[in-house]
Amino acid sequence: MLALGKLLELTLAGREPAAKIQLTVEGARLRWLTEGALEITPPVASDCGLDLILSAGVHGNETAPIELLDRLLRAIARGELKPRSRVLLLFGNPAAMRRGERFVVQDLNRLFNGVHEQSSGFEALRACELEQLCVSFFAQPGRTRLHYDLHTAIRASKIEQFALYPWQAGRAHSRRELARLKAAGIDAALLQSKPSTTFSAYTYATLGAEAFTLELGKARPFGDNQMVNLDLLEQRLHAIIAGCEPEDDPSLDGLQLFAVAREVIKHSDAFTLHLPAAIENFSELPLGYLLAEDLGDTRWTVEEPGARIIFPNPRVHNGQRAGILIVPAGDVNLA
């Protein structure tokens, strides 16, 4: 197998490859760009016109998606998966991956869309570098742009595999993309309705890609992901890379759609989240439930019928989101 097919091994060892460019037997080019970043270019004659970014490890302890990208790359390097799409593989936070921790100094997935310019430290520099890698990769005009940023959640979820679909003013969410996700084993999608500072929000709103944050189960250490079944997603990514996707049923029956009702923002160290420590994502909350309190008279009480909670985390820094209240989306305008 080509040495560049061992990008994960190189990244975890903190090593730079001796050869920066290698060719597969079929003529696909693998090019090492920087730590944790590899560009795959198919032969010109077989290029299907898609530019695909696959990222994982933006949180260093979310290992199942990292292992998935490793399997895909090794299949390409061995010649078993023949790419017809251009692919940029990114391991987002190599230093955190080596530590087995979510981040080193600050949450990398809150530093995009300009936030890194007001910050400092390793993650701020890495966010800037990742943005520039994406800008360069998407520089060719007239091509389709797609980005999947793969994650696992801190806690268990009643709906284990779900997508967060970013927002941009004047742009409708895509029925075709949602149908593609449903076929890939995604059971729910949260349709966002405001700007965000996540990686997928950057490529969606700033670079015009179709982009998603995919949550794929619970975070576990390397080698301990037997309970995370990513077979359908892996099969779909094989097909996308190889340019041989089946035609999807345009019906979204079976895919649950949610909208953001409110974000719970932690303003001070006095913040209290009134939820069990082990509560699962997508847990329903009764009307009138006192969800959280902060300094003064700041209170979050559940007012929305059918409300559920995702990403509850009282340990975030002040000023950051400590949870999201979501509701069934109802009628949705899809392109």
From residue 210, alpha-carbon distances to 22, 145, 173, 218, 224 in Å are: 29, 6, 9, 25, 31
Per the annotation, does 62 bind a ligand?
yes
**Catalytic entry in 39, 160, 215, 280:** 215
Task: For residues 213 and 222, give the distance between their C-alpha atoms in angstroms, rounded to a whole number.
Answer: 21
Cβ atoms of residues 192 and 163 within 8 Å: no
Task: For residues 192 and 259, give the distance between their C-alpha atoms in angstroms, rounded to a whole number.
Answer: 6
Task: For residues 46 and 242, give the distance between their C-alpha atoms in angstroms, rounded to a whole number.
Answer: 10
Task: For residues 286 and 23, give the distance between their C-alpha atoms in angstroms, rounded to a whole number.
Answer: 57
Q: Is 215 part of the annotated catalytic residue set?
A: yes
Residue 186, both tokens = 């995604």
Per the annotation, does 177 bind a ligand?
no
Per the annotation, does 238 bind a ligand?
no
Task: For residues 302 and 285, give the distance between their C-alpha atoms in angstroms, rounded to a whole number.
Answer: 7
Binding residues, by number, are 59, 62, 151
Residues with catalytic roles: 215
Binding residues for Zn(2+), by number, are 59, 62, 151
